[in-house]
Copies of this chain bind each other. A is one copy, B any other.
Amino acid sequence: MSKQLAPPDARGEPPSTVDEVFALLRAQGGRATPSRRILLEILFETDRHLTAEELATAVQKRSPDVHLSTIYRNLEELQKLGVVTHTHLGHGPVTYQLAAHAHAHFICEQCGKRVEAKDELFRDLARKAKRELGFTVDPHHVAIFGRCSDCLAS
């Protein structure tokens, strides 16, 4: 399946169970496979941001033969569905999470520490960017860099 989809926002509430995702998947011509079910279960069970590699390891605990490339392909499908998003945290691999769990990050460019940020912090920026530049901010996709308090002190 590779049909173009409406943006996730246009479909109201995000699915909150694996079966709801599968319903969405089938509605788009996709299929409910064991590897997808396990991948989704893991994503629903965690709040953490996981790399493709970490997801593969977790999936393989329940079903050893699932290949890393299958993880990548499933993640791509789930992103097209709007169920999953990815985040670039600077150096290192991309991390994935349920779209419903997404949030912004600050990363210390000295020690690498990650700090999660509420969307509220971006409200003023988003409003001004929209008004002055016509730009709609998505603060979740790429982390913001700077210095944490510890590194600044040293």
Contacts and interface: CB of A to CB of B under 8 A. Distances in A.
A90 B88 contact: yes
Identify the 8 closest CB pairs spanning chains A and B, nearest first.
Answer: A134-B149, A124-B124, A141-B145, A137-B146, A138-B146, A136-B147, A106-B135, A125-B125
Interface residues of A, number: 33
Contacts of A122: 125
Q: How many copies does the complex hold?
A: 2
Interface in A83-135: 88-91, 106, 108-109, 115, 117, 121-122, 124-125, 128-129, 132-135
Main secondary structure of the interface of A (DSSP, over half): mixed
A24 interface: no
Contacts of A121: 125, 128-129, 132
